[in-house]
Amino acid sequence: MTSGGELWIETEVNEKNQIVLTFSLNLPEEDYSLELLEQEAVQKALRRCNGNKSKAAVFLRIPRHTLLYRLEKYNIRIF
């Protein structure tokens, strides 16, 4: 599998004081899996949230138990 895909996540606060997330995905030409994308999204969310699993789950808009499952599934270690 070729790596090299990039997922960019940007946040901003709009005029109604709401957090707005903007996702941008740049994929390589071939051989990129949804699992790899998911791993990268989880890792980047954890980095952005300084390793806080609860905050990362909120950031990804998934239940905390789902994040914990993904961490175990992909053998992702926190700092």
Three-class secondary structure of residue 53 per DSSP: helix
Place of tokens 């699992």: 35
Give percent of the chain with pLDDT exceeding 70.
Answer: 87
- Rounded to an integer, the average pLDDT of 40-62 is 93
Question: Containing H/E element for 11?
Answer: strand 6-13
Asked if residues 49 and 55 have their Cβ atoms less than 8 Å apart, the reply is yes
Confidence class for position 37, pLDDT limits 50, 70, 90: confident
Q: What percent of the chain has pLDDT over 90?
A: 47
Fold of 6-73: Arc Repressor Mutant, subunit A (1.10.10)
